[in-house]
Amino acid sequence: MERLVTGVPYFRPNISEEEIALVESSLRSGWLTSGPRVAEFEAAFAAQVGAKYAVALNSCTAALHLALLAHEIAPGDEVIVPTLTFAATAEVVLAVGGVPVLVDCRPDTLAMDFDAVRLAITPRTRAVMPMHYGGSAADMTSAMAIKAENPQIAIIEDAAHAFPASHELGRIGSIGDSTCFSFYANKTMTTGEGGMLTTDDSKICDHVRRLSLHGLSRNAWSRFETSSSWDYDIVEAGWKYNMTDAAASLGLGQLGRAQELAESRRQIALAYDEAFSAVPGVTPRSAGEISANACHLYVVRVDPSICATDRTGLIETLADRDIGTSVHYRPLHMHSYYAKTRGYQPEDYPVAAQQFEQIVSLPIFPGMTDSEVEAVVKNVTDAVTGRG
């Protein structure tokens, strides 16, 4: 059989001419750091997710870090995080001197297992960090029930995958104590690099904003206005985590197209769902109601007892045909750092360990053509059935 060779990247940016013009106008304004476009972006994003306040930052990692500090997570405090997540979710806990307490994932959604969360709570638990895996909401009903029972526990959401996503309790960004979003290049909307923290607590907002600019008493924008005083005070140690106006300009353009970009992802996910329903041994993860899902990732499991190849073999076959893939993620407890420092074994979190061996993320991005979707489906199908 003639081998189908076609190039489909794992991700391709979707930037409009309007967004390029917005960035250009920002650069021509002479305002290159945090300024009026950042303020506009913050207000628009807060309104979009239904939060009272938003602080634009240079990454989701920065947002998570400052959220922990603003919620006064101190050395020795325990923060419960999923083992199936990106490095940043736990690294920021270590950065503030806290103790990341890992929990397993659910086998259907791959999101944090809140039955495991309840068992992990101790008198030292000060925060729970649900991660909205793949763009579908974690079990926020359970998260907020835990908060109601334990008011001292902050719910800090890692929503790097989850704009625009929603839950029966509301839009992601309006439910927990603080929510942290990513605008990295391959996310559902982008500023190149960037992030956002949303909250309904004005004190958290003010604290995060202050920490994002070296702990200064006044922000950079007002300090350099012609009508403002030069004077400022450092009221606490902080960092340089602010967003630039150029990045915010791109964000404003992407935000204006958010529903269009999300709908494109959802249609691709639906096409994949239909196609893979007829392929034995290839099972998409359960992602809930499509209209509530940001569809950042499209993850399938490859069962080697049924398929002609395993996950690694599929990735290699697709790479040979110029089709990009990724894996989200190697569980934290299976990384050498955590194994060495905490003594973890793969079997300590058996669901995540088992799922890791089978999961692969397929291309999904706005502007992906029907022929590209068909090429991915055909090549996956050929590989797992042994036809190609």
pLDDT at 84: 98
Top CATH class of 17-256 equals alpha beta
- Nearest CA to 300 among 384, 363, 360, 378? 360
Residues of the chain falling short of pLDDT 50 = 1-5, 223-224
- Residues 290, 128: Cα–Cα separation, whole Å: 26
What tokens does 189 get? Answer: 């909307």
- Residues 108, 301: Cα–Cα separation, whole Å: 10
pLDDT digits (tens, 9 = 90+) for 89-129: 999 999 999 999 999 999 999 999 999 999 999 999 999 99
The reported pTM is 0.95
Spot the catalytic one: 187, 203, 240, 340.
187
What 3-state class would DSSP assign to 366?
A: coil
CATH fit for domain 259-385, picks 3.30.428.10, 3.90.1150.10, 3.40.50.1370, 3.40.50.1260: 3.90.1150.10
pLDDT at 1: 36
pLDDT at 227: 57
Residues 6+ apart with CB under 8 A from 156: 64, 67, 68, 71, 79, 127, 128, 129, 176, 177, 178, 179, 180
pLDDT digits (tens, 9 = 90+) for 303-314: 999 999 999 999
List, edge to edge, every strand of the sheet that includes 298-302: 282-284, 298-302, 359-362
240 part of the active site? no
Strand ranges for 83-172 from DSSP E: 99-103, 125-128, 154-159, 166-167, 170-171
Would you list the domain boundaries of the chain? 17-256, 259-385
For residues 286 and 109, is the Cβ–Cβ distance under 8 A?
Answer: yes
Residues 6+ apart with CB under 8 A from 277: none
